[in-house]
């Protein structure tokens, strides 16, 4: 892995290699809107690229990797490392003209086990990316930038009980996130808003995501989120078997299906809302309940075994009062509906890689 990342860094430093040019004959200047999606090889980024393209945008993606599970929908894709400021500038320019909009989703991140065990790596990599993208936007005159923050910015003190977590946007200060990942997200929010205030070049919009899930996301390897991890465990388990959950399973979370996340991103980006907004579901469940929903979808009869492991805060749930007020919108899909689609997709991935579990 280290060798691969080192090779990619060297490659991007030398020439920011362009790939994925299935639409290379399409001229960017023929489109009314041109967008750059940073992190376009990732889960949310790849879905966002598809939506923007379907709405008539010319879209460039940039990432260390292409999407893992499907071909990119981007008209143009740069394999490059955004920790390198030259890559950021190259990605932002079409000829000598900047893109109209930047969607900055690139980050070093993963599931709860990953983000609690790689503090220095996360801080180093994500801060570099955001400093570089903020400066490239200012220097090259980008009109509008979206930044994907996280519910992890909220203070640990407000999330100590599973039944009544406090995650209103205004509760972020006094700041006390429970992870360095959360601190980095909060710092980068301030970074982008400081650039907006001082330089008056790029308009910034910020969303705090709450546990986005869906098909074509990472489902194994340590960077996967809880819904994908549990779908994988259930898909691998034989009927009558056991799946393991970290902790007592009473910790609470809410989870938002990726299509609604993308809708929220675009509504916020096109609005005049200049404060961070939660983009998440208010349908809070325990991890035990989440696991049982997935088990029921599978049609198997499985037992849940609780084992020691990282749990994070005891409770977290999106507070959608402000997003309803500011955007006259909020997510409406049910958790179970998204889990049905996600489980079926992960079940197929598991079967392709490991063979189908015995019924």
**Catalytic residue ranges:** 181
Count CA atoms within 13 Å of residue 312 on its CB side.
30
Nearest to 37 by CA among 57, 56, 23: 57
Contact 252, 226 (CB under 8 A): no
Taking the CA atoms of residue 7, residue 9, residue 15 and residue 18 in that order, the dihedral angle to the nearest 10 degrees is 80
Quote the CA–CA distance of 147 and 102 in Å, as a whole number: 9
Quote the CA–CA distance of 181 and 348 in Å, as a whole number: 31
Relative to beta strand 212-213, strand 101-104 is: unpaired
Contact 278, 319 (CB under 8 A): yes
67-95 burial code (b ≥16 CB/10 A, e <16)? beeeebbbbbbbbbbbbbebbbbbbbbbe
- Tokens (6 digits) for 36: 């750059």
């Amino acid at each position: 892995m280290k060798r691969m990342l080192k090779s990619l860094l060297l490659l991007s430093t030398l020439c920011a290699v362009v790939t994925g040019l299935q639409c290379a004959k399409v001229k960017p200047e023929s489109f009314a809107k041109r967008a750059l999606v940073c992190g376009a090889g990732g889960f949310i980024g790849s879905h966002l690229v598809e939506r923007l393209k379907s709405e008539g945008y010319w879209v460039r993606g940039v990432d260390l990797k292409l999407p893992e599970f499907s071909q990119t929908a981007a008209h143009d894709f740069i394999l490059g490392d955004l920790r390198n400021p030259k890559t950021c500038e190259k990605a932002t320019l079409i000829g000598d003209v900047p893109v109209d909009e930047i969607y900055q989703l690139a980050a070093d991140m993963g599931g709860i086990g990953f983000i609690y065990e790689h503090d220095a790596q996360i801080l180093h990599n994500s801060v570099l990316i955001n400093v570089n993208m903020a400066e490239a936007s200012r220097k090259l005159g980008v009109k509008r930038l979206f930044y994907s923050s996280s519910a992890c910015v909220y203070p640990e003190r407000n999330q100590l009980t599973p039944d009544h977590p406090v995650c209103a946007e205004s509760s972020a200060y006094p700041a006390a996130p429970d992870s360095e990942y959360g601190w980095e997200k909060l710092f980068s929010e301030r970074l982008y808003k400081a650039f907006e205030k001082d330089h008056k070049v790029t308009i910034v919009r910020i969303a705090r995501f709450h546990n986005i899930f869906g098909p074509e996301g990472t489902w194994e390897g340590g960077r996967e989120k809880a819904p994908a991890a549990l779908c994988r465990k259930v898909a691998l388990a034989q009927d009558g078997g056991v799946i393991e959950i970290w902790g007592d399973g009473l910790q609470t979370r809410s989870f938002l299906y990726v299509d609604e996340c993308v809708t929220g991103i675009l509504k916020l980006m096109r609005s005049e809302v200049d404060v961070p907004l939660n983009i998440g579901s208010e349908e809070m469940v325990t991890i035990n309940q989440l696991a049982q929903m997935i088990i029921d979808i599978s049609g198997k009869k499985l037992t849940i075994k609780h084992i020691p492991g990282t749990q994070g805060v005891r409770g977290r749930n999106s507070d959608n009062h402000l997003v309803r007020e500011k955007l006259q919108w909020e997510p409406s899909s049910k958790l179970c509906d998204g889990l049905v689609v996600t489980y079926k997709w992960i079940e197929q991935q598991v079967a392709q890689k490991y063979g189908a579990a015995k019924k």
